[in-house]
Structure 1
Amino acid sequence: MGLFRQWFDRDKFKDIFRTHWEPFKKTFSRYQSARYDEAVQKMLGCGDPENGYAIYICSKCGGEQKKVPFSCKSCFCLSCAKVYTDQWAARIKAILFPGVAYRHTVLTIQDELRIYFYRNADLLSELMKAGVKCLEDTMGTVFRRSVRGGYIVVVQTNGRSGSYNPHLHIIMTSGGLAESSQGFDANQK
């Protein structure tokens, strides 16, 4: 994607929020909170010199100056989220065990059940626990004994279309520690 296209998409995203954020909150009252307002306002102000900037001056001639607006550093912002995501991925990569194979697994719930999670966000924590339990049970079936895997679980509440679709992204070990042995049982299937 070209640089122009990236900036065009970011501006369009901001325009959507400038135009529709207030009416959206009136329709969906759960978003009427300072937390959501703050995230949206930070994103809208990202890269605006009125919110602060740094001036860089050429050290050779002293004449050429470049004003660079500050970013918002919000994970909600299309510009800053990329940096945030890359930093998160680097932190996760640093804690993964070398030599262990990992798998990315996605678990979701039926359409008919989504309304319960929408109405009670505390259920998302239980969804994460149930997802790990499901994978533990599956590994137990594959290995024919109880195996404890390693998991990094992230809940995402929207799908690609932007609709409410709570689902889990799980980075899991391809195998695990069997309670009956000291070693790591690998599943490379």
Structure 2
Amino acid sequence: METNVLKQIFIDHWKPFVKKYGKRIRPSVLKEVQKFLNCGDPKNGFKLFVCEGCHHTSTTCSCSEAEEWSRIMNEEVLQVNHRHVTFTIDEGLRVIFQKYRRMLKEFMNEAVRLVQEWFEKKLKVAPGIIAGLYTFGSHLNFDPHVSYNGGE
């Protein structure tokens, strides 16, 4: 399986980083990075596909399933009139959400509830909703936000 650029950066720099800052890295971060680094290794599980005609084989891990899900959402589900809305947390309050991360689930639930309520009151319809909770922004800073896609 081909290594992407981000994974290669972690392969090249993660161990020295942990050696230097290990005591300051949260256990959950260590766990998630290790899962990321192990992704694609057949020892961690895979699916084997065999062509019944020519017997060609190929393998895949759940990464390709996530990419396929994303493609389906983009090409099939979202090919209707829809809106894209992002709910974010004020920069001054982010430290609270970083300390009490369990509140992030409630934040996402509230964002979805607000969208549903707006559609039901204003348009008298129940929207279809796809919402995702993101905890980091494009600059890899803690920036929790809920991204919502949905249509009437």
The range that moved more, 158-167 or 146-155, is 146-155
- Residues 118 and 22 of structure 1: is their aligned pair in 2 closer, same or farther, counting only changes over 3 Å? farther
2:32 to 17, 24, 36: 36
User: Deviation at 1:110?
Assistant: 0.6
Runs of 5+ consecutive residues of structure 1 not aligned to the other structure? 1-5, 52-67, 75-79, 176-189
Q: Percent identity?
A: 20
Is the 1:25–1:32 contact (alpha carbons within 8 Å) kept by the matching residues of 2? no
- Specify the SS of the correspondent of 2:139: coil
Give how far 1:29 is off: 2.7
| Structure 2 residue 15 is matched with structure 1 residue 18 | yes
* 8 Å CA contact retained: 2:84, 2:147: yes
Alignment of 1:169 onto 2:150: no
Give the number of aligned pairs: 137
**Which structure's relative contact order is higher, taking Cα pairs within 8 Å and 6+ residues apart?**
2
The normalised TM-score by structure 1 is: 0.55
Query: Structure 1 residues 12 and 151, CA, compared in 2 at 3 Å: closer, same or farther?
Result: same
Deviation of the 1:9 alpha carbon: 5.4
The amino acid that maps onto 2:14 is F
The CA distance in 2 between the partners of 1:140 and 1:24, in whole Å, is 50
SS of match in other structure, 1:148: coil
Whole-angstrom distance in 1 between the partners of 2:126 and 2:22: 43
- SS of the equivalent of 2:146 reads strand
Matched ranges for 1:18-167 at <5 A:
18-31=15-28, 35-36=31-32, 38-43=34-39, 46=40, 73=61, 80=63, 83-92=64-73, 96=77, 100-140=80-120, 142-143=122-123, 146-167=124-145
Deviation at 1:123, TM superposition (A): 1.2
- Consecutive unaligned residues of structure 2, counting only runs of 5 or more, are 45-57
The residue type equivalent to 2:135 in the other structure is T
Whole-Å separation in 1 of the counterparts to 2:77 and 2:93? 33
Deviation at 1:90, TM superposition (A): 4.1
- Which protein has the bigger helix share? 2
Decide which structure has the larger Cα Rg and report it. 1
CA displacement at 1:109 relative to structure 2: 1.0
- Distance in structure 1 (CA, Å) of the matches to 2:43 and 2:106: 43
User: 1:65-93, CA deviations, whole angstroms, 9 ceiling, x for partnerless residues?
Assistant: xxx9x87x46xxxxx5xx34422224546
CA contact (8 A) 1:25 1:31 kept: no
Q: Could you list the structure 1 runs, at least 4 aligned residues long, displaced by more than 6 angstroms after superposition.
A: none
RMSD: 3.7
| 1:172 shift after superposition | 0.9
